[in-house]
Amino acid sequence: MDAIIRVAAQFIMTILGLLLGVIFGIPRERAHLRELDQREAATAQFSVTDIKALPAGIVPAGGSLVIGQVVIGSDYLKTFLSRFRNIFGGEMRSFELMLTRARREARLRMIDQAQRMGATAVVNMRIETSRIGQATRRGGNPMAEVLCYGTAIVPSRGGEVM
- The Cα–Cα gap between 61 and 120 comes to 11
What CA–CA distances, in Å, run from 83 to 9, 108, 132? 20, 31, 18
Torsions phi, psi for 160 (to 5 deg): -85, 145
Sheet holding 58-73, edge to edge: 47-48, 121-133, 143-160, 58-73
- The Cα–Cα gap between 76 and 25 comes to 8
- What's the mean per-residue pLDDT of the chain? 83
Lowest mean pLDDT across 11-15, 65-69, 142-146: 11-15
At 116, the pLDDT band (50, 70, 90 cuts) reads very high
Contact (CB, 8 A) for 114 and 122: yes
Pairing of strands 143-160, 121-133: antiparallel
Q: Which residues contact 110 (CB under 8 A, 6 or more apart)?
A: 48, 66, 67, 68, 122, 125, 148, 149, 150
Q: Which of 64-78, 104-118, 142-156 has the highest mean pLDDT?
A: 104-118
At 162, the pLDDT band (50, 70, 90 cuts) reads very low
Count of CB atoms within 10 A of residue 135's CB? 16
- Domains of the chain, residue spans: 2-160
At 38, the pLDDT band (50, 70, 90 cuts) reads very high
Side-chain-side CA neighbours of 159 within 13 Å: the count stands at: 3
Q: How is domain 2-160 classified at the architecture level of CATH?
A: 2-Layer Sandwich (3.30)
